[in-house]
Chain A
Amino acid sequence: DAKTTQPTSMDCAEGRAANLPCNHSTISGNEYVYWYRQIHSQGPQYIIHGLKNNETNEMASLIITEDRKSSTLILPHATLRDTAVYYCFGGSQGNLIFGKGTKLSVKP
């Protein structure tokens, strides 16, 4: 699986868009980009995944660069309940090796 790099923490104002970046420069051509989040004291929650094209679902949008070396998760209108640690992964859904992720704090 690809090694990923994420900022340690980010702040976002409630109601504004939260843009979370991830670098996965070693991702191979058949590996997906996955995003999960973990809200305090809960199991991780699947958010979205993609291969090459940008993806959107009811939770978020995923923008993958053309060279696939980085991606951005976009929460269009962040709420206080989006405060969590966000993890990105590059892989084929074998073992997910969790790093430190990005701690997103949504502030009123």
Chain B
Amino acid sequence: GAVVSQHPSRVICKSGTSVKIECRSLDFQATTMFWYRQFPKQSLMLMATSNEGSKATYEQGVEKDKFLINHASLTLSTLTVTSAHPEDSSFYICSAREQETQYFGPGTRLLVL
């Protein structure tokens, strides 16, 4: 099956700093990638849809200026959490679509101190 990677797998940062998370489709090209967030004991929540070469579409309640998404190539999308705060601590997961199926990355655990 198709493989999606994320980097880093976990990151700890200080409050006020920015963190970049990379999502790569390793063996296929993805014009559409998705970013999700998952808090403990909750289900995944879609944050935004990332389309290669165009602006991301954000879900209601997700601040586009805080969660910057760039999808500059068919195999790479990045999520930058700007001016991170402790409440941004979460499990961030990306997915990439190949034909009619979405494949998910392993997730990035972010802890903001």
Contacts and interface: CB of A to CB of B under 8 A. Distances in A.
A38 B97 CA distance: 18
A46 B107 contact: no
Interface of A: 32, 34, 36, 38, 41-46, 49, 92-93, 95-101
B43 A101 contact: yes
Q: Describe B's contact surface by its main secondary structure.
A: strand
Interface residues of B, number: 23
B49 A95 contact: yes
5 contacts: A32-B100, A41-B91, A43-B104, A46-B104, A92-B100
Contacts, number: 50
A95 B34 contact: yes
Contacts of A45: 104
Q: Describe A's contact surface by its main secondary structure.
A: loop
A98 B101 contact: no
Most chain-B CB neighbours within 10 Å: which of A32, A42, A43, A93? Answer: A43
Contacts of B61: none
A98 to B, nearest CB: 4
Nearest to B107: A43
B24 to A, nearest CB: 13
B104 A34 contact: no
Interface in B1-45: 1, 4, 6, 34, 36, 43-45
Contact of A43 (B43, B101, B105): B105
A93 B101 contact: yes
Most chain-A CB neighbours within 10 Å: which of B46, B101, B106? Answer: B101
B105 A93 contact: no
